[in-house]
């Protein structure tokens, strides 16, 4: 059996609930390509998956929710940051669609006004628990575990989803996305030389890398970290990829050399809008009419632009940018986006 068929069969055995609109489009970015005078640039629109403004978390949700339901869960618990957790928002919407309750453990202070993801979490009726580390006494116990115990004692069946759904079940979704992209590439008679995507908690890259190695595509996958000091993320990505290989019964081992994770474009901290991301957001909006976000995809695109300008890709190569979503965050950066003059 060829590697594509084999991987397809293995992925088909994993329980899944249809939630996302798939396959997402693979489109050319002709004006951006012309502007940058580098490789041919394509975009895979995973921001158009559908539910609750879409994004990469929705792909993961299909497998995560199937796993939760197979364990008879009536409530899911997950975690993320107060303002920028696209994962929390997507999980809340998916849970509601499937008739489940949802508890969100959000790290940070409760703001006076709810906005962006948090506003949607609220509208979806999530039970939101704010954890403000500065006020909290240090506890060994994961707050999600504590809440799960509390719910179990009340007769509920909780299911904990790790941050960003970055664990085996979530990574399966991106192994499947790689298969989907590979099929589209064949339809377009396209050899993909590089894939560039934003990385946060590792599940997306883990799935991509695993399937990419199994399919022997020869594509280099560049994860662009949303935060600095991402050695932990590299370790975690390798771990998830190998756990996922085991889970899928794939005899492939992912080693550090398989993981290209770049932290050069994150700025000093998570969710800090960099001048380069601002430039990237404006450039893509103005050349292609496509919206990126300040926290993840804007930084990943800043990476693509910078690597192109530094001649890291050849003109005859194809680069696919994965649009992982998160776009509603732009409204929280209105002031900064209009004030930064680097590309005005």
Q: Which residues bind ligand PLP (CB under 6 A)?
A: 55-57, 86-87, 164, 166, 198-205, 293, 296-297, 324-326
Cα maximum dimension of the chain: 61
Q: Considering the candidates 70, 81, 85, 225, report the single residue annotated as catalytic.
A: 85
Are the C-beta atoms of residues 164 and 132 closer than 8 Å to each other?
Answer: no
Smallest gap from residue 164 Cβ to ligand PLP (A): 4
The three-class DSSP label of residue 177 is helix
54/151 with CB nearer ligand PLP: 54
> Of 148 and 173, which CB lies nearer to ligand PLP in the complex structure?
173
Rank residues 158 and 203 by Cβ distance to ligand PLP and give the closer one.
203
Matching residue, tokens 């397809």: 8
Residues 6 or more apart from 119 whose CB is under 8 A from it? none
Question: For the chain, first and last CA: distance in Å?
Answer: 53
Contact 276, 306 (CB under 8 A): yes
Tell the smallest beta-carbon distance from residue 325 to ligand PLP (Å): 4
**Nearer to ligand PLP among residue 39 and residue 170 (C-beta):** 170
The residue number whose beta carbon is nearest to ligand PLP equals 326
Question: Taking the complex as a whole, how short is the minimal distance between the CB of residue 172 and ligand PLP, in angstroms?
Answer: 12
**CB 64 to ligand PLP: min, Å:** 12
Alpha carbon dihedral 300, 194, 46, 247, in 10-degree steps, equals -110
Nearest approach in angstroms of CB 292 to ligand PLP is: 9
Best CA proximity match to 49, nearest among 159, 176, 226: 176
* Three-state DSSP state, 153: helix
**Nearest approach, Cβ of residue 228 and ligand PLP (Å):** 15
Closer to ligand PLP by CB, 74 or 115: give it.
115
Nearest CB to ligand PLP, comparing residues 213 and 323: 323
Closer residue to ligand PLP in complex, CB, 38/325? 325
C-alpha span between 38 and 53 (Å, rounded): 31
- Say if residues 103 and 159 touch (Cβ distance below 8 Å): no
Instruction: Please tell me the distance from the alpha carbon of residue 233 to that of residue 129, in angstroms, as a whole number.
Output: 26
Neighbours of 14 (CB within 10 A): 18
Dist CA 231 CA 234 (whole Å)? 5
Contact 284, 42 (CB under 8 A): no
**Residue 330 in contact with residue 52, Cβ under 8 Å?**
no
To the query of whether residue 85 is one of the catalytic residues in this protein, the response is yes
Ordered alpha helix ranges (H), the chain: 3-12, 30-36, 56-70, 86-97, 116-123, 143-153, 168-187, 203-215, 231-247, 275-288, 297-309, 334-339
Query: Closest distance between ligand PLP and the C-beta of residue 334, in Å?
Result: 18
Residues involved in catalysis? 85
């Amino acid at each position: 059996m060829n590697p594509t068929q084999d991987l397809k069969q293995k992925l088909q055995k994993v329980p899944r609930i249809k939630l996302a609109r798939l396959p997402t489009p693979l489109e050319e970015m002709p004006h951006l390509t012309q502007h940058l005078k580098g490789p041919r640039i394509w975009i895979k629109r995973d921001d158009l998956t559908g539910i609750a403004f879409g994004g990469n978390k929705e792909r993961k949700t299909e497998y995560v929710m199937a796993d939760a339901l197979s364990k008879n869960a009536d409530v899911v618990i997950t975690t993320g940051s107060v303002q920028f957790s696209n994962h929390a928002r997507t999980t809340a919407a998916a849970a509601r669609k499937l008739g489940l309750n949802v508890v969100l453990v959000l790290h940070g202070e409760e703001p006076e006004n709810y906005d962006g993801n948090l506003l949607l979490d609220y509208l979806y009726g999530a039970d939101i628990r704010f954890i403000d580390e500065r006020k909290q006494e240090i506890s060994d116990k994961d707050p999600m575990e504590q809440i799960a115990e509390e719910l179990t004692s009340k007769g509920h069946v909780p299911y904990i989803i790790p941050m960003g759904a970055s664990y085996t079940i979530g990574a399966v979704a991106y192994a499947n996305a790689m298969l989907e992209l590979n099929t589209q590439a064949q339809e377009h008679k396209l050899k993909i030389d590089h894939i560039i995507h934003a990385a946060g908690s590792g599940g997306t890259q883990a799935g991509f890398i695993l399937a990419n190695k199994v399919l022997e595509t020869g594509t280099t996958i560049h994860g662009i970290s949303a935060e600095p000091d991402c050695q932990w993320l590299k370790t975690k990505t390798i771990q998830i990829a190998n756990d996922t290989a085991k889970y899928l019964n794939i005899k492939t081992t992912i080693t550090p050399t398989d993981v290209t994770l770049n932290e050069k474009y994150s700025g000093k901290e998570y969710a800090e809008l960099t001048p380069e991301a601002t430039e990237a957001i404006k450039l893509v909006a103005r050349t292609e009419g496509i919206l990126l976000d300040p926290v993840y995809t804007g930084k990943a695109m800043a990476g693509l632009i910078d690597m192109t300008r530094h001649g890291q890709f050849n003109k005859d190569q194809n680069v696919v940018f994965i649009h992982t979503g998160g776009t509603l965050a732009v409204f929280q950066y209105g002031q900064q986006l209009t004030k930064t003059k680097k590309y005005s």
